[in-house]
Amino acid sequence: MGRVFVAGSINMDVVAAAERHPRVGETVAGSALLYFPGGKGANQAVAAAKLGAPTTLIGRLGKDAFGEQLRTFLAVQGVDLSFVKDTAETHTGTAIITVADADNTIVVVPGANALVDADDVAAPVLAKGDVAVSQFEIPQATIATFFKSVRAGGATTILNPAPASKFDRQLLDLVDILILNETELGFLTGRELRDSDSRDRFTDAARSLAGRDKIVCITLGKRGVLALVQGEPLMVPGREVKAIDTTGAGDCFVGALASQLAVGSGLHHALDYANAAASICVQRMGAAPSMPTAAEVANILDA
């Protein structure tokens, strides 16, 4: 069995629940203040670990109370933290989130995540069958170093370019599987895309990023996922559920897909599995604590 290595962010999510989002300059009353472990890297690692893949997280925490709480939480989820460093130079990454009507707005203050560097990602040794995952809440130069070295060992690389940010072709060339939503795809391809757009429109946009042999997966919420495999579209439908908080659902998808590829599943099954996992995640409040177990996903797939 392969292993999953996630190089990425670890945040404490400070969440205000409200009936609706405030407009710019407006104040609205919240209904609850909640603290959830989060950060795209940590969320993806928790999902992969809970879904049965041996999972290592590479990242940084501040030497503060949030850092201690996150370390304890992640260890309990079964994530290997041997490559998570404590750094005294700055605070633990923190995300300020408003959740209203199942949707969120997020401001991330990176703190220690911005210090994850080439030495941090050079330490673990990956092999063929392993899966390396990253996202855009740590420096892009660090991700490039990570992917370059793990590819030399034969591992598969997955990039989730979120939050959307411009990146150069050299990094894209180090990616085997690109996973992004329609907003990120629109940003990276300079097109106006909506989740209600046609498959052809997404396929056309994805082709411009796919190059010769990259797999591009566009997550489309309850519509499911559209994957471009060797230039051909493959639609795997999602599930209609009542969402209460979509924070971390994309991360759940990424972690679940990585776990399934690491345990040797084919791509079609891994996509269906990841859709099912994300459909559970959105029915719970919070990011990392919402990641499902393998038994929960199996229940859905068997139904």
Which spans of this chain sit near ligand RIB (rule: CB under 6 A)?
9, 11, 13, 38-40, 43, 95, 106, 108, 137, 247-248, 250-251, 287
Residues designated as active site: 251
The residues, any chain, with a CB within 8 Å of residue 273's CB and separated by 6 or more, are: 51, 256, 257, 260, 265, 297, 301
Cβ proximity to ligand RIB: between 11 and 259 the closer is: 11
Q: Least distance (Å) from ligand RIB to the CB of residue 279?
A: 16
- Measured from the Cβ of residue 94, the count of other Cβ atoms closer than 10 Å reads 21
CB nearer to ligand RIB: pick between 12 and 205? 12
Q: Quick one: which H or E segment has residue 234?
A: strand 232-236
Nearest to 127 by CA among 241, 259, 5, 267: 5
Minimum gap (Å) between residue 278 Cβ and ligand RIB: 12
Which SS3 state, helix, strand or coil, does residue 255 take? helix
Ramachandran region of residue 173, left (φ > 0), alpha (ψ -120 to 50) or beta? alpha
Q: Which helix (H) or strand (E) holds 190?
A: none
> Minimum Å distance from CB 173 to ligand RIB?
25
Q: Kindly tell me which of 14 and 300 has the beta carbon lying closer to ligand RIB.
A: 14
Compare residues 229 and 244 and give the one whose CB is closer to ligand RIB. 244
Q: What is the DSSP letter of 293?
A: P
- Considering the complex, what minimum distance in angstroms separates the CB of residue 204 from ligand RIB? 27
Gyration radius from the chain CA atoms:
18
How many CB atoms are closer than 10 A to CB 3?
Answer: 22
